[in-house]
Structure 1
Amino acid sequence: MQSYNQFCPIAKACEVLEPRWTLLILCEMWSGSSRFNEIKRGVPSMSPSLLSKRLKGMEDLGLITREELDGNIDYKITEIGHELGPIVFALGKWAHRNIDAEVTLEKLDAKLLMWNVRRKVDISPFTTTKKVIQFVFTELGKDKRNFWLIYKPGCSVDLCTKDPGFEVDLCVMAELKALTSVWIGLSELADELRHKKIVLLGDKHLAATIDQWMVRSDFAPKLKIA
């Protein structure tokens, strides 16, 4: 850990939080990820070796703990780590208000977007039967454009990048930029639907309730379907 060689509390806080990826790892863990591979999916640009290094450093600083049970390793945020939650969320709100939308949407990642969409899906509006929702990002190559969210009663929502072979209930045809913008709250779903940048095909109930089950980023206001 590099030091600013200052006694200022802000300088000391920066020494703990500035190593690249630290806050994003914490955000991924606040979202529910506790296993190495889960955290890796939330920070896809990190190499496994760098993620291991950061997790070890965060453990040494007391931000997280490492627990091994039945051969599996779980990472948990400590009390002092959780104290950072309101601070980091406030930083995100500041960025959402003050950083230009076009700058925010310069770097798009379909896998990362769908990982975020999956973990915030609200299953309560779903029926007791299996639901399969396919997302197709029309401008991407054939091997990168398709994602499937699969809900089975009593289970969490799964994300597949290969065709699971199930009948699709709802197909969401979208431009990656449009859906990313909707999810983080920079545009409204109703506007993207009106401009045909997002098209909903299939189950009318799923389409009509997308504002209920596709929960957006914590920094976005509630979806408006019309």
Structure 2
Amino acid sequence: MAPQGYQQFCPVAMACEMLEPRWTMLILCEMWSGSTRFSEIQRGVPGMSPSLLSRRLKEMEVKGLVTRTTDSDGHIDYRTTPTADELEPLVHALGAWAHRHIDPDLQLECLDDHLLMWNIRRKIVVSELPRRKVVVQFILKIDGKPDCNYWLIVRTDGATDLCMVNPKFDVDLYVSADLRAITSVWMGHSSFAQEFAREQIVLIGDKALARSLPRWLQRSSFAASRPGATASPPSVRLAGE
């Protein structure tokens, strides 16, 4: 029998499993985060098939939650309506509630490297980075599986790209991390300092970039909602120091 539920660590996903409707709030969350194209929305809800996403977007359009427009090049954009936007603080509060009350071990059962990196990509604080192109390679380690590699590229105009295929650029910083550990930091269950001390996250490369990582890699908006959430230090130690 196929596993039930969304199989994601996201607190909103877990709240949706209890309260329903399935997927609708997660689609809205992805759109509130800036995704307007079908492919972008799909990357934010990786457990959803393209056919189901297409059907659900049509249903949401009928319900007045989403509008669909086509530009001069034939590209379709989806945007939330004012009616849907009224739900945003309520859905965020629901996720914060789930994050406070659902056990961290349960939240970290359903790890998803692609979803994690897709979310990290849009939380980069560009103002804390050098004013040049910056390339960070994430090497994510999952027990019993080959390492997963992602390249985060912050361009000179401030745009941030995420690549799953080596872009062949010089890498400024390598972040080698256990997937559970870096997800735990992202969600606020542990801190960079704790995972560096356990050697579950190791940094190699540009020293200034490594030491400022807790400032330019902003954590999930839910991280501060859990009582006793750990804060990240202003600087860190590189491997070998």
TM-score, normalised to structure 2, is: 0.83
4+ residue runs over 2 A deviation: 138-142
Letter of the aligned partner of 2:208 in structure 1? H
Residues 171-210 of structure 1 mapped to structure 2, 5 A cutoff? 171-210=174-213
| Alignment gaps of 5+ in structure 1 | 1-13
- Could you tell me which of 92, 95, 98 is aligned with 2:95? 92
Matched positions, count? 210
Structure 2 match to 1:34: 36
Letter of the aligned partner of 1:135 in structure 2? F
Letter of the aligned partner of 2:191 in structure 1? E
Given that residues 108 and 177 in structure 1 are in contact (C-alpha distance below 8 angstroms), is that contact kept between their aligned partners in structure 2? yes
Higher Cα Rg: structure 1 or 2?
A: 1
- Name the % identity: 54
- Could you tell me which of 56, 59, 65 is aligned with 2:58? 56
Partners of 2:158 and 2:215 in 1: CA distance = 19
1:119 Cα deviation from its structure 2 partner: 1.0
Structure 1 match to 2:4: none
1:22 aligns with 2:24: yes
Letter of the aligned partner of 1:53 in structure 2? R
Per-residue CA distance 1:70-98 (angstroms, 9 max, x = gap):
20111111111000011101101101100
Partners of 1:23 and 1:66 in 2: CA distance = 18
Per-residue CA distance 1:142-165 (angstroms, 9 max, x = gap):
4x5100001110141100111111
Q: Secondary structure at the match of 2:122?
A: helix
Residues 145-156 of structure 1 mapped to structure 2, 5 A cutoff? 145-156=148-159
Partners of 1:44 and 1:57 in 2: CA distance = 19
> RMSD value over aligned CA atoms?
1.6
Report 1 or 2 for greater relative contact order, CA contacts < 8 Å, sequence distance ≥ 6.
Answer: 2
Residues 9-158 of structure 1 mapped to structure 2, 5 A cutoff? 18-70=20-72, 71-139=74-142, 141-142=145-146, 145-158=148-161
Given that residues 211 and 223 in structure 1 are in contact (C-alpha distance below 8 angstroms), is that contact kept between their aligned partners in structure 2? no
TM-score, normalised to structure 1, is: 0.89
